[in-house]
Amino acid sequence: MKLTQGAFSYLPDLTDDQITAQVEYCLSRGWAVSVEYTDDPHPRNTYWDMYGLPMFDLRDAAGVLQEINACRETYPEHYIKVNAFDSTHGWEALQLSFIVNRPAEEPGFALVRTETAGRNLRYTTTAYATDRPAGQRYAKG
């Protein structure tokens, strides 16, 4: 099951040229771009690990792409996303976030039903991947 989080996630995966164009747009708006990765795809997992520091004062997307590729090399079987942070006073939050790398196999999510008082049902989802410990979740073989 293809993970659909962030912008463009219903489209086919972006090519490097398309990623470059998106990052160029972010930089032209003066946003600070950063790269993050995780192997826990749960939608409520908002705290992904930072790959390096956010990149300030960049003028060209080549530097960001270099960082993305370095992250891909280190974590080929992780989710990697690119964030663009807008520091404008009053906004001070992300403007854009999109996935640039995903594991080859995405097992998807399980729906867990919990019965509570009065035969009520509570629902939650868990990622099959998180059954295994961090770091081994998408390991091949």
Chain residues in the site for other proteins (CB under 8 A)? 52-53, 55, 57-64, 66-67
Pick 62 or 110: Cβ nearer other proteins: 62
Q: How many CB atoms lie within 10 A of CB 114?
A: 9
DSSP 70: H
Pick 51 or 75: Cβ nearer other proteins: 51
DSSP 49: E
CB of 53 to other proteins, least distance (A): 8
Pick 35 or 129: Cβ nearer other proteins: 35
CB of 24 to other proteins, least distance (A): 9
Q: In 12-33, which positions are buried (b, 16+ CB within 10 angstroms) versus exposed (e)?
A: eebeeeebbebbeebbeeebbb
Pick 15 or 116: Cβ nearer other proteins: 15
What separation in angstroms does the CA of 18 have from each of 11, 21, 45, 58?
12, 5, 26, 18
CB of 61 to other proteins, least distance (A): 8
**With contact defined as beta carbons under 8 Å apart, do 63 and 55 qualify?**
yes
CB of 23 to other proteins, least distance (A): 11
